Structure 1
Amino acid sequence: MPQLNPNPWFVILVFSWFIFLTIIPTKILNHLTPNEPAQVSEEKHKTHSWNWPW
């Protein structure tokens, strides 16, 4: 049964995982995001205590 012979398929499996783990992530991470995140101001919002008329 030739499908149980691991010689050609194991090499294909290792080579494909090598591509998936090394080449593809570097290509994806090289793309720039279209909208760069804006800086958030560090000023604190003024909060007022509630005066409940109870």
Structure 2
Amino acid sequence: MPQLNPAPWLLFMGLSWLVFAAIVPTKVVKYIENYNPAPKNISQAKTRTWIWPWS
């Protein structure tokens, strides 16, 4: 069984790995927002009872 000739695809595989490993992550990180949640109010909201019009 003959071996594959790496000349046509080896360059493209190397360049694609270079793009995915070096260029794409830096562009994706720019769009990720830092998630800084605001502290929630500890006191609970007071709820009112529902007044049914027929009762």
TM-score, normalised with respect to structure 1: 0.55
Structure exhibiting the larger radius of gyration computed from Cα positions: 2
2: CA distance between counterparts of 1:12 and 1:29? Answer: 25
In the TM superposition, 1:1-54 aligns within 5 A as 4-33=4-33, 36-38=35-37
TM-score, normalised with respect to structure 2: 0.54
Structure with higher helix content: 1
Q: CA RMSD in A?
A: 2.3
- Unaligned segments of structure 1, at least 5 residues: 41-54
- Unaligned segments of structure 2, at least 5 residues: 40-55
Identity %: 38
